[in-house]
Amino acid sequence: MLFIRYTPFMINQTKSKKVILLYIVLMLGFLIFLGDMFKNATISRQNPSLFTAQTLQAERGSIISADGYSVATTAKLYKAVVNRSFIDPKKLTLFVELFSIYSGMSTKEIYTKLSAKKRHITLSNSISSKNAQYLKALSHELVKLGVFIKKKNRRGVYIRQGLDIIEHGEERVYPFGNLLTPLIGYPRVLTENNYRKIHGIKGIEKFYDEDLSSDQNGRLRSKRDVNSYLILNNEATNTEVEHGLNVKLTIPLTLQTRIEKIVDKMKKKLDAKEIMVVIMNSKNGNILSLASSNRYLPKSIKRSDYGSLNTSAIEYAFEIGSVMKPITFALLLEDRLINPYDLVNGHNGKFKVGRKTITDEHKFDWLSAENVIVHSSNIGIAQLAQKLNAIEYSDGFQRFGFTHKTEIDLPYEKRGSIPTLNQLKSETYKATTSYGYGMTATLMQLVKAYSVFNNGGKILTPKVTSSLFDDKNNIYPIETPDPVEVISPRTANQMKKILIKTVNQGTGIGTRTEGLEVGGKTGTAHIARKGRYINEYHTSFIGFANDLKRRYIIGVTVVEPQTQHFASLTAVPVFKNVVDTLVQEGYLHKSKKFKLPPYVKLEH
């Protein structure tokens, strides 16, 4: 057997090699550690930031009635997003059933959406604020129930993605359905920076769109604690949110509701295409009601609603008929070309001007000038109108607001039209225009014109908005032009008496109301289509109703009534119902001072 003997020298040499090897290993480990430290120091890390920011979305302002009801307001809109791959297959049914209960969606619809071949699925993008709160609570419960499983991401970290409820826009809410449409108008949705915003298209929503629109989103930036909650200390910064302004209407909801019921009922009774009503305060031009029988739901407009989208009282110009006679008569009185007691030949109901034969519904031999208005004689006013020259005629009509916008605070207003100066040199044009043919106007223009007779000769500018105000209740009043004198107080007072006589003894007899001062004029006009008059009519009654303190101009137009075509049987009953409603709602108070005289029917 061979024995090897280790000398001390050989033992020391072996130990040295081990030490050197250990030293090399330690140095390599240290270098690796330094490299890792350098990498962590220089490469962007995904650790949570100490600071976080939260955006507060500004909201569109509301539209408020004169009596304080929100008729159009804004609500936050949320969407529900889920990562399909994180739902435990064994608990998919539980997820669907619970989400259906909390969201109101059908289980079939949810299953259909979940079958999409993508990871992140939007189950709904029209969740209300109320349902969003419920679904946020559900999201936490689903985690507790183990509906969502954990998965390892690319970095080897286990994560869990559940149900996310995300604010992504706003929606317009109309609590009273079609009430006050088309005056309120309707909006459309535009996406701005991945956020759905509302913009007005018609009505108040359009006219005040810039004021209603939100000015500035808020932004809160601060440190957060371990639970990711914001720490509101002196290091936090806050940009204040600026919501859109609110619009305060001059129209009380309670009155508007009753007027709309009247026009709805009368439209059905008269089988009319549309009925419009305007009530204006004679002292300041405030509109108390602007109602149409043709309305729509702003959030669900159908093709059949297209004809109802316009505010007809300002966008529909038509030949106005005999409601024009008082305007013509006032110009004659103002220029002292006639006296109310002058006699006018009625020509027994038929009179020729140029090539045109003018007729009256009732035949007269002779009648006073004022009775031309009271009993609505086309022949009488046609003869009196010849006393005006073309310039007096044209300028006078324009002073009363015809061919001009009323400047009401609504968009897309029509101007209407009158004959040219050259045309008004013709006897025929003078005659036909005097009783409302050959010219067009809107109902609002007529209401504005008649304000002259109930306001001492001064014309008013109508408005449907009293003020704008912000969420701090700073109020910004809507200013309107001062009233402008169109005719003298003397002429206005004469015309007022004639219109009261028209109600007490003439064509407006159906509007007589004990205890009130009521005056006005009827108008029935053929409708022209394709250059010829057809057997369809517009009927109107424009007038006023006053008590000892309050004065109102009321305009009514009935478009194409089928059961009757005289204004006395169509527009007059609507006017009377409106006056009675103003009394019942406390806007007018009867007085013994306004005792009705006996009705004296003129024999002819």
Query: What per-residue confidence (pLDDT) applies to 120?
Result: 87
Query: What per-residue confidence (pLDDT) applies to 442?
Result: 98
Query: What per-residue confidence (pLDDT) applies to 246?
Result: 96
- Summarize pLDDT for 163-222 with one digit per residue, the tens: 888 888 888 999 999 999 999 999 998 887 788 889 999 999 999 999 999 766 545 454
CB 532 within 8 A of CB 520: no
What helix, strand, coil percent values describe the chain, rounded to 5?
Answer: 35, 25, 40
- Summarize pLDDT for 161-173 with one digit per residue, the tens: 888 888 888 889 9
The pTM assigned to this predicted structure is 0.84
Average pLDDT rounded to a whole number, residues 416-426: 96
User: Given a cut of 90, is residue 232 above it in pLDDT?
Assistant: no
- What are the sequence ranges of the domains in the chain? 49-69+176-249, 76-168, 253-295+312-584
Q: Kindly write down the DSSP assignment for every residue of 6-66, as one continuous string.
A: --HHHHHHHHHHHHHHHHHHHHHHHHHHHHHHHHHHHS---PPPSEEEEEE---PPPEE-T
Residue 337's CB is within 10 A of a number of other CB atoms, namely 15
CATH 3.30.70.2110 fits 76-168, yes or no: yes
> H or E stretch including 204?
helix 203-207
Superfamily per CATH, domain 253-295+312-584: DD-peptidase/beta-lactamase superfamily (3.40.710.10)
Q: Kindly write down the DSSP assignment for every residue of 362-378, as one continuous string.
A: S--SEEEHHHHHHTT-H
Where do we find the tokens 């029917």? 601
Averaged confidence pLDDT in the chain: 88
Phi-psi region of 321 (alpha: psi -120 to 50; beta: other; left: phi over 0): left
Handedness of CA 297, 298, 300, 302 (dihedral sign): positive
Q: Which two tokens stand for residue 450?
A: 């008649």
Average pLDDT rounded to a whole number, residues 94-108: 91
Query: What per-residue confidence (pLDDT) applies to 242?
Result: 83
User: Given a cut of 70, is residue 459 above it in pLDDT?
Assistant: yes
User: Given a cut of 50, is residue 53 above it in pLDDT?
Assistant: no
Q: How far apart are CA 409 and CA 366, in angstroms?
A: 46
Average pLDDT rounded to a whole number, residues 93-106: 91
Percent of the chain with pLDDT over 90: 66
Cβ burial, residue 526 (10 Å; 0-12/13-18/19+): middle
3-state class (DSSP) for residue 481: coil
User: Given a cut of 80, is residue 411 above it in pLDDT?
Assistant: yes
More confident residue, 360 or 600: 360
What is the CATH architecture of 49-69+176-249? Alpha-Beta Complex (3.90)
- What separation in angstroms does the CA of 175 have from each of 75, 180, 201, 439, 440? 12, 11, 19, 40, 36
Q: Which two tokens stand for residue 406?
A: 């009323």
The strand pair at 287-292 and 343-345 is best described as: unpaired
- Summarize pLDDT for 540-583 with one digit per residue, the tens: 999 999 999 999 999 999 999 999 999 999 999 999 999 999 99
DSSP state at residue 465? E
Query: What per-residue confidence (pLDDT) applies to 127?
Result: 87
Query: What per-residue confidence (pLDDT) applies to 218?
Result: 45
Average pLDDT rounded to a whole number, residues 8-18: 59
Query: What per-residue confidence (pLDDT) applies to 110?
Result: 92
Residue type, 183: L
Q: Which two tokens stand for residue 116?
A: 């999409």
Query: What per-residue confidence (pLDDT) applies to 62?
Result: 96
Of 31-35, 113-117, 246-250, the poorest mean pLDDT is in 31-35
Average pLDDT rounded to a whole number, residues 288-316: 96
- Summarize pLDDT for 107-156 with one digit per residue, the tens: 999 999 998 888 889 998 888 888 888 888 898 889 889 988 888 777 76
Query: What per-residue confidence (pLDDT) applies to 47?
Result: 44
Query: What per-residue confidence (pLDDT) applies to 324?
Result: 98
| Helix residue spans in 400-441 (DSSP H) | 427-434
User: Given a cut of 60, is residue 227 above it in pLDDT?
Assistant: no
End-to-end CA distance of the chain: 164
Query: What per-residue confidence (pLDDT) applies to 603?
Result: 41
More confident residue, 154 or 450: 450
Asked whether the domain spanning 253-295+312-584 has the same topology as the one spanning 49-69+176-249, the reply is: no
pLDDT band at residue 231 using 50, 70 and 90 as cut-offs = low
Query: What per-residue confidence (pLDDT) applies to 263?
Result: 98
Query: What per-residue confidence (pLDDT) applies to 43?
Result: 47
Average pLDDT rounded to a whole number, residues 474-496: 96
Asked if the peptide bond before residue 462 counts as cis, ω within 30 degrees of 0, the response is no
3-state class (DSSP) for residue 314: helix
Q: Kindly write down the DSSP assignment for every residue of 143-189, as one continuous string.
A: HHTT-B--EE-TTS-EE---EEEEEEEEEEE-TTTTTTTTTS--EEE
Q: How far apart are CA 540 and CA 542, in angstroms?
A: 6
